[in-house]
Structure 1
Amino acid sequence: MSPTTPPRPIDEHRDRIRSRLASASRLLLCLDFDGTLAPIVDDPDAAAPTPENEAAVASLATEPAVSTAIVSGRALADVRDRIDGPKTYAGNHGLELSRHGSVTVHPVARQRMSRLEAVCETLETVLEPIPNCRIENKRLTGTVHVRSVPASVRSVVRRQTHAVVDRLGDGSLEVSTGKRIFEIGPSVSWDKGDAVALIASEMPSETVPIYIGDDVTDESAFRTVEPDGIGIRVSGDEPSAASYRVDSPTAVATVLNWLDSVGVDLLES
């Protein structure tokens, strides 16, 4: 799909997904966490996958023809503690990757950790007067949470965040926008899409990749899997590189259960 085209309701196009699975021998299933497996909540520390999603991921992870991966903006250690089953986890938007029993970290991101820490510490002070504004230092990236910040002062948070990053980052850090968050990370050409591409590169050629995510940061992953694979956007019908959409994490569980009960059997043996 073109990034300027709204994704289509998945239930209206299930035949296309059946056909794509039937032409493949393996499935690579990559999943975002917040807003996808877990509902968005005001307190990020309280986020948890729905029981239905947790059970579906665990079941799919046992299927011999399925490879599962979590690809999240959360720190690797954080997201691994929140969902079990997959053998592959990508944290901090792909800057850290756990697979084959080891963890790799993007070398540039590692080099800029001290600068990121200085930015987060400064933002803690600068944004302290803003009600409900929270700064999260994830070692390789940082997040300014504004979901519970009054709408009238979110623009102040945005300006102050950019100002601090510009002053202390000295061109080595950048700010991006997500769903009521501002993400701070190293200025490197690496994102979720690159992490998914790296994971997919180790799969057999007959593998169909599926990526499910809900935010702007997931668009690079949609572009990676489309058009040969399947991108599914969660919530909203805004333009996306994903072909299909579902309404909520509850609907994600329906898709995962369908893959587990029907989709896996469609794969060529």
Structure 2
Amino acid sequence: MEFTSAEGQERWADLVRVASRVVVGLDFDGTLSPIVEDPEAAHIHPDAGAVIVELARQVRAVAVITGRPARQVLDLGGLEEVGDSLSEAGADLFVFGQYGNERWSTTHRRIVSPRPPRGLASFERELPGVLRRADAGDAWVEDKGLAVAVHTRRLAEPEAAFQRLLPAIGDLAKRHDLLVEPGRQVIEVRSGGMHKGLAVRALVEELDAGGFLFAGDDLGDLEAFEAVAELRGDGLPTVLVCSASEEESALVDRSDVVVKGPDGVLELLRRLTAEARSS
């Protein structure tokens, strides 16, 4: 792990001092799991479950906050089994799916979810025409129930296709009162009213958090970063972590710590666990 500044190192020390009241928020793709061509094969890092269990015993709670559906993350991450281990230890794990629209926890072990947004069905009907006109008809369209994601990773020129599609999909989404969330060679369209930043704030308020660490990897985590920065301005000890890669580094300049992908994230979480235990 690499601190981006002396201030970042000081923020880490401040967070460790209040570790027992800290909430740790983690993105999934690119943070706990590697980025792969088939998102349905993006299983959590094999060491992540054990690392989360040890960490959760030292902090107030651990939360996975992701754009994926909660059920998908629970399955890909084996997080229900992780939750079983944490329940026995009296520790809490939360999963916020679809940017916070869905919620699961070790206390309430069912997924709470709203209805799909208005306009999403109409958007989906018109989407194939937009893809064809952008010469991206073979892009993979993922129906998430509360959102639609268009993946260009499998195309011959994924980044060029992404750049062509982003404004076109943005125009279509706007006509149906939907929001666009760009990520790593994926464009997600969903309803407004909820985002990762609101999930961060909900956790802080509900758990009376005394500190917050958030780790993410791309622009889909930007609102969470902004919420944590605002909490810092209110006096809460915070640390922002970028899980950087060769293809995505948008959050580096906003971060206190930069690590290399899921391996680096787990190294950081192990360090936090060890320093919290000895403090």
- For the aligned pair, the TM-score class normalised by the smaller chain equals 0.7 to 0.9
- 183, 186, 191: which one aligns with 2:191: 186
Q: CA deviation at 1:56?
A: 0.6
Q: Which runs of 4+ in 1 moved over 3 A?
A: 7-16, 102-106, 151-156, 237-241
| Counterpart for residue 234 of structure 1 | 243
Superposition pairs of residues 1-269 of structure 1, within 5 angstroms: 8-9=3-4, 14=9, 16-61=11-56, 63=57, 65-83=59-77, 84=79, 85=82, 87-99=93-105, 100-101=107-108, 102-105=110-113, 110=115, 112=117, 115-124=119-128, 126-127=130-131, 130=136, 132-149=138-155, 150=157, 151-167=159-175, 169=176, 172-188=177-193, 190-204=194-208, 207-226=210-229, 227=232, 228-235=237-244, 236=249, 240-266=253-279
Q: CA deviation at 1:155?
A: 3.5
Q: Is the 8 A contact 1:123 1:135 kept in 2?
A: no
| Structure 1: 5+ residue stretches without partners | 1-6
Q: Deviations over 1:186-224 (max 9, x none)?
A: 133x2101001101112235x221111111121221222
- RMSD value, Cα: 2.7
18-27 or 222-231, which moves further after superposition? 18-27
Amino acid at match of 2:225: F
1: CA distance, partners of 2:68 / 2:55: 22
Residue identity (%): 26
The 1:57–1:195 alpha-carbon spacing in structure 2 relative to 1, beyond 3 Å, is: same
133-142 or 10-19, which moves further after superposition? 10-19
| Counterpart for residue 86 of structure 2 | none
13-22 or 36-45, which moves further after superposition? 13-22
Q: Deviations over 1:17-48 (max 9, x none)?
A: 13332145422111100000111111101101
| Structure 2: 5+ residue stretches without partners | 84-92
Q: CA deviation at 1:264?
A: 3.6
Q: Deviations over 1:140-175 (max 9, x none)?
A: 1111111232144333333442343344x1xx2122
The 1:245–1:139 alpha-carbon spacing in structure 2 relative to 1, beyond 3 Å, is: same
Determine which structure has the larger helix proportion and give its number: 2
Q: Is the 8 A contact 2:151 2:186 kept in 1?
A: yes
2: CA distance, partners of 1:239 / 1:193: 18
2: CA distance, partners of 1:118 / 1:131: 18
Amino acid at match of 1:153: A
Q: Is the 8 A contact 1:219 1:242 kept in 2?
A: no
Amino acid at match of 1:209: F
1: CA distance, partners of 2:44 / 2:129: 32
Name the TM-score, length of structure 2 as normaliser.
Answer: 0.78
Number of matched pairs: 250
Q: 3-state DSSP class of the match of 1:73?
A: coil
Name the TM-score, length of structure 1 as normaliser.
Answer: 0.81
Q: 3-state DSSP class of the match of 2:197?
A: helix
Q: CA deviation at 1:66?
A: 3.4
The 1:89–1:136 alpha-carbon spacing in structure 2 relative to 1, beyond 3 Å, is: same
Q: 3-state DSSP class of the match of 2:123?
A: helix
1: CA distance, partners of 2:45 / 2:31: 10
